[in-house]
Chain A
Protein backbone atom coordinates (compact mmCIF):
# COMPACT_ATOMS: atom_id res chain seq x y z
CA UNK A 1 0.00 0.00 0.00
CA UNK A 2 1.31 3.45 -0.85
CA UNK A 3 1.76 5.85 2.02
CA UNK A 4 -0.03 9.17 2.15
CA UNK A 5 1.28 12.70 1.79
CA UNK A 6 1.70 13.28 5.51
CA UNK A 7 3.85 10.23 6.04
CA UNK A 8 5.93 11.03 2.95
CA UNK A 9 6.66 14.49 4.34
CA UNK A 10 7.30 13.07 7.80
CA UNK A 11 9.71 10.48 6.40
CA UNK A 12 11.48 13.21 4.45
CA UNK A 13 11.96 15.28 7.60
CA UNK A 14 13.02 12.18 9.47
CA UNK A 15 15.57 11.41 6.77
CA UNK A 16 17.01 14.93 6.85
CA UNK A 17 17.21 14.90 10.64
CA UNK A 18 18.81 11.48 10.52
CA UNK A 19 21.39 12.80 8.07
CA UNK A 20 22.21 15.74 10.33
CA UNK A 21 22.02 14.17 13.77
CA UNK A 22 22.63 10.52 13.02
CA UNK A 23 20.96 9.17 16.15
CA UNK A 24 17.75 7.15 15.97
CA UNK A 25 16.39 8.02 19.40
CA UNK A 26 16.98 11.79 19.27
CA UNK A 27 15.36 11.92 15.84
CA UNK A 28 12.30 10.01 17.02
CA UNK A 29 11.91 12.40 19.98
CA UNK A 30 12.16 15.39 17.66
CA UNK A 31 9.60 13.81 15.32
CA UNK A 32 7.20 13.41 18.24
CA UNK A 33 7.70 17.06 19.16
CA UNK A 34 7.05 18.09 15.56
CA UNK A 35 3.86 16.02 15.63
CA UNK A 36 2.70 17.69 18.84
CA UNK A 37 3.53 21.10 17.41
CA UNK A 38 1.54 20.30 14.27
CA UNK A 39 -1.49 19.20 16.28
CA UNK A 40 -1.46 22.25 18.53
CA UNK A 41 -1.02 24.31 15.38
CA UNK A 42 -4.09 22.67 13.85
CA UNK A 43 -6.10 23.36 17.01
CA UNK A 44 -5.07 27.02 17.22
CA UNK A 45 -5.59 27.59 13.51
CA UNK A 46 -8.98 25.87 13.66
CA UNK A 47 -10.03 28.02 16.63
CA UNK A 48 -9.08 31.20 14.78
CA UNK A 49 -10.76 30.06 11.58
CA UNK A 50 -13.92 28.81 13.29
CA UNK A 51 -14.66 32.11 15.05
CA UNK A 52 -14.95 33.60 11.58
CA UNK A 53 -16.61 30.61 9.87
CA UNK A 54 -19.18 30.14 12.56
CA UNK A 55 -20.28 33.78 12.44
CA UNK A 56 -20.37 33.84 8.65
CA UNK A 57 -22.36 30.60 8.43
CA UNK A 58 -24.71 31.80 11.15
CA UNK A 59 -25.18 35.07 9.32
CA UNK A 60 -25.85 33.24 6.07
CA UNK A 61 -28.48 31.03 7.72
CA UNK A 62 -30.13 33.99 9.42
CA UNK A 63 -29.93 36.10 6.24
CA UNK A 64 -27.53 38.63 7.74
CA UNK A 65 -24.14 39.91 6.61
CA UNK A 66 -21.97 38.80 9.48
CA UNK A 67 -18.55 40.34 10.15
CA UNK A 68 -17.62 42.53 7.17
CA UNK A 69 -15.76 45.56 8.50
CA UNK A 70 -12.27 44.36 9.43
CA UNK A 71 -10.36 43.58 6.25
CA UNK A 72 -11.84 42.31 2.99
CA UNK A 73 -15.14 40.50 3.71
CA UNK A 74 -14.30 40.72 7.40
CA UNK A 75 -11.49 38.20 7.02
CA UNK A 76 -9.27 39.94 9.55
CA UNK A 77 -11.97 39.77 12.21
CA UNK A 78 -10.37 36.81 14.07
CA UNK A 79 -7.11 38.74 14.42
CA UNK A 80 -8.95 41.77 15.75
CA UNK A 81 -10.76 39.49 18.20
CA UNK A 82 -7.53 37.95 19.36
CA UNK A 83 -5.89 41.31 19.94
CA UNK A 84 -8.95 42.48 21.83
CA UNK A 85 -9.00 39.41 24.06
CA UNK A 86 -5.30 39.72 24.79
CA UNK A 87 -5.57 43.33 25.88
CA UNK A 88 -8.64 42.76 28.07
CA UNK A 89 -8.38 43.11 31.79
CA UNK A 90 -8.30 39.81 33.61
CA UNK A 91 -10.94 40.35 36.28
CA UNK A 92 -10.84 38.09 39.29
CA UNK A 93 -14.24 38.47 40.97
CA UNK A 94 -14.70 38.56 44.73
CA UNK A 95 -15.09 35.30 46.54
CA UNK A 96 -13.80 32.98 43.83
CA UNK A 97 -11.94 29.90 44.85
CA UNK A 98 -8.68 31.24 43.35
CA UNK A 99 -6.67 28.10 42.60
CA UNK A 100 -9.52 25.99 41.25
CA UNK A 101 -10.91 28.94 39.35
CA UNK A 102 -7.58 29.64 37.64
CA UNK A 103 -6.84 25.99 36.95
CA UNK A 104 -10.17 25.15 35.28
CA UNK A 105 -9.59 26.81 31.87
CA UNK A 106 -6.05 25.45 31.68
CA UNK A 107 -6.98 21.89 32.58
CA UNK A 108 -9.92 21.98 30.17
CA UNK A 109 -7.51 22.26 27.26
CA UNK A 110 -5.69 19.01 28.13
CA UNK A 111 -8.40 16.43 27.29
CA UNK A 112 -9.46 18.42 24.23
CA UNK A 113 -5.91 18.47 22.91
CA UNK A 114 -4.97 14.92 23.88
CA UNK A 115 -7.87 13.59 21.80
CA UNK A 116 -5.98 14.74 18.70
CA UNK A 117 -3.26 12.20 19.41
CA UNK A 118 -5.64 9.43 18.30
CA UNK A 119 -6.83 10.90 15.00
CA UNK A 120 -5.77 9.10 11.84
CA UNK A 121 -5.14 12.18 9.68
CA UNK A 122 -3.81 10.13 6.80
CA UNK A 123 -2.46 6.69 5.99
CA UNK A 124 -0.16 5.98 8.94
CA UNK A 125 -0.31 9.60 10.14
CA UNK A 126 -1.54 8.97 13.65
CA UNK A 127 0.35 10.24 16.65
CA UNK A 128 -0.40 7.42 19.08
CA UNK A 129 -1.80 4.35 17.33
CA UNK A 130 -2.22 2.38 20.56
CA UNK A 131 -4.06 -0.91 20.96
CA UNK A 132 -6.78 0.65 23.15
CA UNK A 133 -7.18 3.72 20.90
CA UNK A 134 -10.94 4.31 20.78
CA UNK A 135 -11.47 3.32 24.41
CA UNK A 136 -8.68 5.55 25.68
CA UNK A 137 -10.04 8.35 23.53
CA UNK A 138 -13.48 8.05 25.13
CA UNK A 139 -11.87 7.86 28.57
CA UNK A 140 -9.80 11.00 28.02
CA UNK A 141 -12.73 12.94 26.56
CA UNK A 142 -14.86 12.05 29.57
CA UNK A 143 -12.51 14.02 31.83
CA UNK A 144 -13.65 17.39 30.52
CA UNK A 145 -16.89 17.38 32.56
CA UNK A 146 -14.97 17.82 35.75
CA UNK A 147 -13.28 21.00 34.51
CA UNK A 148 -16.66 22.57 33.79
CA UNK A 149 -17.66 21.55 37.27
CA UNK A 150 -14.49 23.14 38.65
CA UNK A 151 -15.10 26.38 36.76
CA UNK A 152 -18.73 26.65 37.77
CA UNK A 153 -18.37 25.75 41.42
CA UNK A 154 -15.28 27.90 42.01
CA UNK A 155 -16.79 30.98 40.35
CA UNK A 156 -18.95 32.08 43.28
CA UNK A 157 -21.68 32.86 40.79
CA UNK A 158 -25.21 31.51 40.63
CA UNK A 159 -25.05 31.17 36.87
CA UNK A 160 -21.79 29.32 37.26
CA UNK A 161 -23.34 26.89 39.70
CA UNK A 162 -26.29 26.22 37.43
CA UNK A 163 -23.94 25.79 34.50
CA UNK A 164 -21.86 23.30 36.47
CA UNK A 165 -24.93 21.27 37.40
CA UNK A 166 -26.04 21.21 33.82
CA UNK A 167 -22.59 20.13 32.64
CA UNK A 168 -22.86 17.11 34.92
CA UNK A 169 -26.43 16.38 33.88
CA UNK A 170 -25.52 16.55 30.20
CA UNK A 171 -22.54 14.26 30.52
CA UNK A 172 -24.55 11.77 32.57
CA UNK A 173 -27.14 11.40 29.85
CA UNK A 174 -25.10 11.48 26.66
CA UNK A 175 -22.03 9.48 27.57
CA UNK A 176 -23.70 6.10 27.97
CA UNK A 177 -25.51 6.21 24.59
CA UNK A 178 -22.32 7.43 22.91
CA UNK A 179 -20.19 4.62 24.30
CA UNK A 180 -22.80 2.01 23.41
CA UNK A 181 -23.29 3.36 19.90
CA UNK A 182 -19.58 2.95 19.18
CA UNK A 183 -19.70 -0.64 20.41
CA UNK A 184 -21.16 -1.78 17.08
CA UNK A 185 -18.15 -0.39 15.24
CA UNK A 186 -15.76 -2.20 17.55
CA UNK A 187 -17.69 -5.44 17.02
CA UNK A 188 -17.37 -5.18 13.24
CA UNK A 189 -13.74 -4.07 13.35
CA UNK A 190 -12.61 -6.48 16.06
CA UNK A 191 -10.03 -4.00 17.30
CA UNK A 192 -9.85 -0.84 19.37
CA UNK A 193 -7.04 0.57 17.25
CA UNK A 194 -8.07 3.71 15.35
CA UNK A 195 -6.12 2.75 12.22
CA UNK A 196 -7.89 -0.64 12.15
CA UNK A 197 -11.26 1.10 12.22
CA UNK A 198 -10.34 3.04 9.07
CA UNK A 199 -8.83 -0.07 7.48
CA UNK A 200 -12.00 -2.07 8.17
CA UNK A 201 -14.01 0.56 6.30
CA UNK A 202 -11.62 0.41 3.38
CA UNK A 203 -12.09 -3.34 3.14
CA UNK A 204 -15.89 -3.26 3.35
CA UNK A 205 -18.03 -0.14 3.18
CA UNK A 206 -18.28 3.00 5.27
CA UNK A 207 -19.79 2.24 8.64
CA UNK A 208 -22.56 4.76 8.04
CA UNK A 209 -24.05 2.10 5.76
CA UNK A 210 -23.63 -0.75 8.25
CA UNK A 211 -24.45 1.29 11.34
CA UNK A 212 -26.97 3.99 10.41
CA UNK A 213 -28.65 3.94 13.83
CA UNK A 214 -25.32 4.21 15.61
CA UNK A 215 -24.43 7.12 13.34
CA UNK A 216 -27.57 9.03 14.31
CA UNK A 217 -27.08 8.29 18.00
CA UNK A 218 -23.45 9.35 17.86
CA UNK A 219 -24.31 12.52 15.96
CA UNK A 220 -26.91 13.45 18.58
CA UNK A 221 -24.59 12.85 21.50
CA UNK A 222 -21.91 14.92 19.78
CA UNK A 223 -23.99 18.05 20.27
CA UNK A 224 -24.19 17.36 23.95
CA UNK A 225 -20.49 16.63 24.16
CA UNK A 226 -19.52 19.94 22.59
CA UNK A 227 -22.26 21.87 24.42
CA UNK A 228 -23.86 23.15 21.26
CA UNK A 229 -27.48 23.86 20.47
CA UNK A 230 -29.89 22.02 20.77
CA UNK A 231 -28.07 20.75 23.89
CA UNK A 232 -26.04 23.78 24.97
CA UNK A 233 -27.17 23.81 28.59
CA UNK A 234 -23.76 24.49 30.05
CA UNK A 235 -23.55 27.96 28.61
CA UNK A 236 -26.89 28.82 27.01
CA UNK A 237 -26.43 32.56 26.77
CA UNK A 238 -30.09 33.51 26.80
CA UNK A 239 -30.79 31.66 30.05
CA UNK A 240 -27.73 31.65 32.28
CA UNK A 241 -25.46 34.27 30.64
CA UNK A 242 -22.47 32.01 29.98
CA UNK A 243 -23.00 29.31 32.55
CA UNK A 244 -19.84 27.80 33.89
CA UNK A 245 -17.64 30.55 32.49
CA UNK A 246 -19.69 33.61 33.32
CA UNK A 247 -17.01 35.03 35.60
CA UNK A 248 -14.06 34.63 33.23
CA UNK A 249 -12.75 37.45 31.10
CA UNK A 250 -9.98 38.11 28.61
CA UNK A 251 -7.61 35.29 27.79
CA UNK A 252 -9.04 32.91 30.37
CA UNK A 253 -12.39 33.16 28.64
CA UNK A 254 -10.62 32.68 25.31
CA UNK A 255 -9.16 29.41 26.61
CA UNK A 256 -12.67 28.06 27.09
CA UNK A 257 -13.42 28.92 23.51
CA UNK A 258 -10.18 27.39 22.32
CA UNK A 259 -11.21 24.13 23.98
CA UNK A 260 -14.72 24.42 22.59
CA UNK A 261 -13.54 24.86 19.02
CA UNK A 262 -10.97 22.12 19.51
CA UNK A 263 -13.86 19.86 20.53
CA UNK A 264 -15.93 20.95 17.55
CA UNK A 265 -13.18 19.96 15.14
CA UNK A 266 -12.60 16.84 17.15
CA UNK A 267 -16.18 15.55 16.82
CA UNK A 268 -16.12 16.28 13.10
CA UNK A 269 -12.92 14.28 12.75
CA UNK A 270 -14.28 11.45 14.89
CA UNK A 271 -17.55 11.18 12.96
CA UNK A 272 -15.50 11.09 9.78
CA UNK A 273 -13.21 8.40 11.15
CA UNK A 274 -15.88 6.21 12.68
CA UNK A 275 -18.59 6.43 10.06
CA UNK A 276 -17.35 8.06 6.86
CA UNK A 277 -14.27 5.98 6.18
CA UNK A 278 -11.66 8.35 7.59
CA UNK A 279 -8.98 9.31 5.11
CA UNK A 280 -9.86 6.61 2.60
CA UNK A 281 -11.25 7.61 -0.77
CA UNK A 282 -10.57 7.24 -4.49
CA UNK A 283 -8.18 9.27 -6.70
CA UNK A 284 -7.45 12.17 -4.35
CA UNK A 285 -4.79 11.69 -1.65
CA UNK A 286 -5.97 10.53 1.78
CA UNK A 287 -5.11 13.80 3.48
CA UNK A 288 -7.38 15.74 1.14
CA UNK A 289 -10.23 13.26 1.58
CA UNK A 290 -9.84 13.47 5.33
CA UNK A 291 -10.23 17.23 5.40
CA UNK A 292 -13.01 17.26 2.81
CA UNK A 293 -15.10 14.86 4.90
CA UNK A 294 -14.23 16.67 8.11
CA UNK A 295 -15.28 20.03 6.70
CA UNK A 296 -18.48 18.44 5.41
CA UNK A 297 -19.27 17.13 8.92
CA UNK A 298 -18.32 20.48 10.41
CA UNK A 299 -20.78 22.27 8.14
CA UNK A 300 -23.50 19.81 9.19
CA UNK A 301 -22.75 20.57 12.84
CA UNK A 302 -22.90 24.32 12.19
CA UNK A 303 -26.08 23.95 10.17
CA UNK A 304 -27.87 22.02 12.91
CA UNK A 305 -26.65 24.40 15.57
CA UNK A 306 -28.12 27.42 13.85
CA UNK A 307 -31.33 25.70 12.79
CA UNK A 308 -32.66 23.99 15.88
CA UNK A 309 -33.90 25.65 19.06
CA UNK A 310 -32.67 24.58 22.47
CA UNK A 311 -34.60 21.80 24.18
CA UNK A 312 -35.28 21.78 27.90
CA UNK A 313 -32.74 19.98 30.04
CA UNK A 314 -35.14 17.40 31.43
CA UNK A 315 -36.32 16.66 27.89
CA UNK A 316 -32.73 16.10 26.88
CA UNK A 317 -32.03 13.83 29.84
CA UNK A 318 -35.05 11.65 29.30
CA UNK A 319 -34.32 11.60 25.56
CA UNK A 320 -30.82 10.33 26.28
CA UNK A 321 -31.91 7.64 28.69
CA UNK A 322 -35.26 6.57 27.30
CA UNK A 323 -34.69 6.86 23.56
CA UNK A 324 -30.99 6.92 22.70
CA UNK A 325 -29.76 4.31 25.18
CA UNK A 326 -32.39 1.62 24.40
CA UNK A 327 -31.81 2.30 20.70
CA UNK A 328 -28.08 1.85 21.20
CA UNK A 329 -28.65 -1.44 23.02
CA UNK A 330 -30.94 -2.68 20.25
CA UNK A 331 -28.29 -1.61 17.75
CA UNK A 332 -25.72 -3.74 19.56
CA UNK A 333 -28.08 -6.74 19.42
CA UNK A 334 -28.77 -6.30 15.72
CA UNK A 335 -25.09 -5.84 14.95
CA UNK A 336 -24.27 -9.00 16.89
CA UNK A 337 -26.89 -11.08 15.09
CA UNK A 338 -25.85 -9.58 11.76
CA UNK A 339 -22.19 -10.41 12.25
CA UNK A 340 -23.07 -13.92 13.39
CA UNK A 341 -25.26 -14.61 10.36
CA UNK A 342 -22.66 -13.12 8.06
CA UNK A 343 -19.69 -15.05 9.39
CA UNK A 344 -20.95 -18.33 10.79
CA UNK A 345 -23.97 -19.31 8.77
Chain B
Protein backbone atom coordinates (compact mmCIF):
# COMPACT_ATOMS: atom_id res chain seq x y z
CA UNK B 1 0.00 0.00 0.00
CA UNK B 2 2.67 2.47 1.02
CA UNK B 3 4.73 1.38 -1.98
CA UNK B 4 1.89 2.21 -4.34
CA UNK B 5 1.33 5.58 -2.66
CA UNK B 6 4.97 6.55 -2.76
CA UNK B 7 5.09 5.47 -6.41
CA UNK B 8 2.15 7.77 -7.21
CA UNK B 9 3.79 10.58 -5.23
CA UNK B 10 6.98 10.04 -7.16
CA UNK B 11 5.19 10.16 -10.53
CA UNK B 12 3.03 13.19 -9.67
CA UNK B 13 5.86 15.19 -8.15
CA UNK B 14 8.17 14.18 -10.98
CA UNK B 15 5.68 15.40 -13.59
CA UNK B 16 5.10 18.63 -11.69
CA UNK B 17 8.80 19.26 -11.22
CA UNK B 18 9.36 18.61 -14.91
CA UNK B 19 6.57 21.04 -15.83
CA UNK B 20 8.05 23.67 -13.51
CA UNK B 21 11.53 23.10 -14.90
CA UNK B 22 10.41 23.75 -18.48
CA UNK B 23 8.63 26.89 -17.26
CA UNK B 24 5.05 25.69 -17.67
CA UNK B 25 3.55 27.97 -14.97
CA UNK B 26 4.91 31.07 -16.67
CA UNK B 27 3.82 29.69 -20.01
CA UNK B 28 0.28 29.08 -18.78
CA UNK B 29 0.07 32.54 -17.21
CA UNK B 30 1.31 34.09 -20.44
CA UNK B 31 -1.19 31.95 -22.35
CA UNK B 32 -4.05 33.23 -20.20
CA UNK B 33 -2.90 36.79 -20.78
CA UNK B 34 -2.73 36.32 -24.54
CA UNK B 35 -6.14 34.66 -24.54
CA UNK B 36 -7.70 37.66 -22.75
CA UNK B 37 -5.81 40.09 -24.94
CA UNK B 38 -6.94 38.22 -28.06
CA UNK B 39 -10.58 38.31 -26.92
CA UNK B 40 -10.29 42.04 -26.24
CA UNK B 41 -8.58 42.94 -29.51
CA UNK B 42 -10.59 40.60 -31.74
CA UNK B 43 -13.90 41.76 -30.35
CA UNK B 44 -12.74 45.35 -30.76
CA UNK B 45 -12.05 44.52 -34.39
CA UNK B 46 -15.47 42.92 -34.58
CA UNK B 47 -17.04 46.20 -33.47
CA UNK B 48 -15.69 47.81 -36.61
CA UNK B 49 -16.18 44.94 -39.02
CA UNK B 50 -19.62 43.59 -38.13
CA UNK B 51 -22.37 44.40 -40.57
CA UNK B 52 -25.07 44.55 -37.95
CA UNK B 53 -24.82 47.39 -35.44
CA UNK B 54 -26.38 45.30 -32.69
CA UNK B 55 -23.62 42.73 -33.18
CA UNK B 56 -21.07 45.52 -33.01
CA UNK B 57 -22.49 46.65 -29.69
CA UNK B 58 -22.36 43.12 -28.30
CA UNK B 59 -18.78 42.79 -29.50
CA UNK B 60 -17.99 46.02 -27.69
CA UNK B 61 -19.33 44.47 -24.50
CA UNK B 62 -17.11 41.43 -25.00
CA UNK B 63 -14.20 43.79 -25.42
CA UNK B 64 -15.10 45.64 -22.20
CA UNK B 65 -15.28 42.36 -20.32
CA UNK B 66 -11.93 41.30 -21.76
CA UNK B 67 -10.38 44.51 -20.45
CA UNK B 68 -11.98 43.88 -17.05
CA UNK B 69 -10.44 40.40 -16.96
CA UNK B 70 -7.06 41.92 -17.82
CA UNK B 71 -7.37 44.30 -14.86
CA UNK B 72 -8.08 41.38 -12.57
CA UNK B 73 -5.16 39.48 -14.09
CA UNK B 74 -2.93 42.40 -13.12
CA UNK B 75 -4.14 42.25 -9.49
CA UNK B 76 -6.29 45.35 -9.92
CA UNK B 77 -9.46 43.52 -8.94
CA UNK B 78 -11.36 46.64 -7.92
CA UNK B 79 -10.68 48.24 -11.29
CA UNK B 80 -11.82 45.01 -12.91
CA UNK B 81 -15.08 45.08 -10.99
CA UNK B 82 -15.55 48.74 -11.94
CA UNK B 83 -14.97 47.83 -15.57
CA UNK B 84 -17.65 45.12 -15.37
CA UNK B 85 -20.14 47.29 -13.52
CA UNK B 86 -19.80 50.56 -15.40
CA UNK B 87 -18.84 49.43 -18.88
CA UNK B 88 -20.22 45.90 -19.12
CA UNK B 89 -23.36 46.67 -17.14
CA UNK B 90 -24.26 50.28 -17.83
CA UNK B 91 -22.45 51.69 -20.86
CA UNK B 92 -23.08 48.60 -22.99
CA UNK B 93 -26.79 48.70 -22.20
CA UNK B 94 -26.86 52.43 -22.95
CA UNK B 95 -25.22 51.83 -26.33
CA UNK B 96 -27.56 48.99 -27.30
CA UNK B 97 -30.46 51.19 -26.22
CA UNK B 98 -29.22 54.11 -28.25
CA UNK B 99 -29.14 51.79 -31.28
CA UNK B 100 -32.65 50.60 -30.60
CA UNK B 101 -33.82 54.19 -30.34
CA UNK B 102 -32.90 54.89 -33.93
CA UNK B 103 -35.47 53.89 -36.49
CA UNK B 104 -34.06 51.86 -39.33
CA UNK B 105 -35.74 49.43 -41.64
CA UNK B 106 -33.15 46.66 -41.62
CA UNK B 107 -30.76 45.78 -38.81
CA UNK B 108 -28.76 43.26 -40.85
CA UNK B 109 -26.86 45.89 -42.82
CA UNK B 110 -27.01 48.79 -40.45
CA UNK B 111 -23.31 49.51 -40.00
CA UNK B 112 -22.07 52.32 -42.23
CA UNK B 113 -20.89 51.22 -45.68
CA UNK B 114 -17.28 50.50 -46.32
CA UNK B 115 -16.22 52.10 -49.58
CA UNK B 116 -12.65 52.57 -50.78
CA UNK B 117 -12.46 55.96 -49.10
CA UNK B 118 -13.55 54.49 -45.78
CA UNK B 119 -10.94 51.76 -46.04
CA UNK B 120 -8.23 54.28 -46.80
CA UNK B 121 -9.29 56.37 -43.83
CA UNK B 122 -9.32 53.32 -41.59
CA UNK B 123 -5.84 52.31 -42.76
CA UNK B 124 -4.41 55.78 -42.07
CA UNK B 125 -6.02 56.00 -38.63
CA UNK B 126 -4.86 52.49 -37.75
CA UNK B 127 -1.30 53.26 -38.88
CA UNK B 128 -1.14 56.49 -36.89
CA UNK B 129 -2.57 54.75 -33.84
CA UNK B 130 -0.03 51.92 -34.08
CA UNK B 131 2.76 54.46 -34.38
CA UNK B 132 1.59 56.38 -31.32
CA UNK B 133 1.18 53.18 -29.32
CA UNK B 134 4.65 52.05 -30.35
CA UNK B 135 6.20 55.33 -29.20
CA UNK B 136 4.23 55.31 -25.95
CA UNK B 137 5.08 51.71 -25.15
CA UNK B 138 8.79 52.30 -25.87
CA UNK B 139 8.89 55.45 -23.77
CA UNK B 140 6.93 54.47 -20.68
CA UNK B 141 8.18 51.95 -18.12
CA UNK B 142 5.25 49.54 -18.02
CA UNK B 143 4.38 47.72 -14.87
CA UNK B 144 3.26 44.15 -15.08
CA UNK B 145 1.53 44.32 -11.73
CA UNK B 146 -0.48 46.89 -9.84
CA UNK B 147 1.54 48.75 -7.25
CA UNK B 148 1.13 47.17 -3.86
CA UNK B 149 -1.06 49.38 -1.74
CA UNK B 150 -1.71 46.63 0.75
CA UNK B 151 -5.45 46.12 0.51
CA UNK B 152 -6.28 47.57 -2.89
CA UNK B 153 -9.66 49.08 -2.02
CA UNK B 154 -8.37 50.66 1.17
CA UNK B 155 -5.39 52.03 -0.71
CA UNK B 156 -7.65 53.61 -3.31
CA UNK B 157 -9.90 55.02 -0.59
CA UNK B 158 -6.97 56.51 1.33
CA UNK B 159 -5.54 58.17 -1.74
CA UNK B 160 -8.97 59.40 -2.78
CA UNK B 161 -9.73 60.92 0.61
CA UNK B 162 -6.32 62.44 1.33
CA UNK B 163 -4.05 63.29 -1.55
CA UNK B 164 -6.64 63.38 -4.31
CA UNK B 165 -9.63 64.68 -2.41
CA UNK B 166 -10.06 67.69 -4.66
CA UNK B 167 -10.08 65.72 -7.94
CA UNK B 168 -12.47 63.32 -6.22
CA UNK B 169 -14.92 66.15 -5.55
CA UNK B 170 -14.39 67.69 -8.94
CA UNK B 171 -15.15 64.34 -10.57
CA UNK B 172 -18.44 64.20 -8.69
CA UNK B 173 -19.36 67.70 -9.80
CA UNK B 174 -18.27 66.91 -13.34
CA UNK B 175 -20.55 63.90 -13.41
CA UNK B 176 -23.39 66.06 -12.16
CA UNK B 177 -22.76 68.61 -14.89
CA UNK B 178 -22.54 65.85 -17.49
CA UNK B 179 -25.90 64.55 -16.42
CA UNK B 180 -27.48 68.00 -16.45
CA UNK B 181 -26.07 68.59 -19.91
CA UNK B 182 -27.34 65.26 -21.17
CA UNK B 183 -30.80 65.94 -19.81
CA UNK B 184 -30.89 69.37 -21.41
CA UNK B 185 -29.74 67.94 -24.75
CA UNK B 186 -32.19 65.08 -24.64
CA UNK B 187 -35.14 67.16 -23.49
CA UNK B 188 -34.47 70.08 -25.78
CA UNK B 189 -33.94 73.60 -24.46
CA UNK B 190 -37.04 75.07 -26.05
CA UNK B 191 -39.25 72.57 -24.33
CA UNK B 192 -37.85 73.59 -20.97
CA UNK B 193 -38.40 77.28 -21.60
CA UNK B 194 -42.05 76.82 -22.35
Contacts and interface: CB of A to CB of B under 8 A. Distances in A.
Do A and B contact each other directly (Cβ–Cβ < 8 Å)?
yes
A164 B80 CA distance: 27
A149 B98 CA distance: 13
A1 B190 CA distance: 67
B96 to A, nearest CB: 6
Interface in B79-103: 80-82, 84-85, 88-90, 92-93, 96-97, 100
Contacts of B5: 19-20, 22
Interface in A130-163: 130-132, 135-136, 138-140, 142-143, 145-146, 149-150, 153-154
A256 B97 CA distance: 22
Q: Is the interface of A mostly helix, strand, loop or mixed?
A: helix
Given A97-B52, A135-B78, A146-B61, A21 B12 contact: yes
A142 B85 contact: yes
Interface residues of A, number: 31
B81 A132 contact: yes
A192 B153 contact: yes
Nearest to B9: A22
A112 to B, nearest CB: 15
Given A131-B153, A165-B100, A136 B54 contact: no
Contacts of B93: 145-146, 149, 168, 171-172
A19 B65 CA distance: 40
Contacts of A19: 5
Contacts of A136: 77, 80-81, 84
A21 B5 CA distance: 8
Interface residues on B, range: 20 to 34
* Most chain A CB neighbours (cut-off 10 Å) among B16, B55, B58, B97: B58
Contact of B92 (A25, A26, A138, A146): A146
* Most chain A CB neighbours (cut-off 10 Å) among B80, B89, B90, B153: B89
Contacts of A21: 8-9, 12
A342 interface: no
A23 interface: yes
Contacts of B55: 97, 100
Contacts of B52: 97
Interface string B55-79: 1001001000100000000000110
Interface string B135-167: 000000000000000011100000000000000
B126 to A, nearest CB: 26
B151 A131 contact: yes
A14 B88 CA distance: 37
A143 B58 contact: no
Given A23-B16, A145-B89, A150-B58, A131 B152 contact: yes
A143 B88 contact: yes
B13 interface: yes
Contacts of B89: 139, 142-143, 145-146, 175
A142 B88 CA distance: 8
B77 A132 contact: yes
12 contacts: A21-B8, A25-B16, A100-B54, A132-B77, A132-B78, A143-B65, A143-B84, A146-B61, A153-B54, A171-B93, A175-B89, A192-B153
Interface of A: 19-23, 25-26, 97, 100, 130-132, 135-136, 138-140, 142-143, 145-146, 149-150, 153-154, 165, 168, 171-172, 175, 192
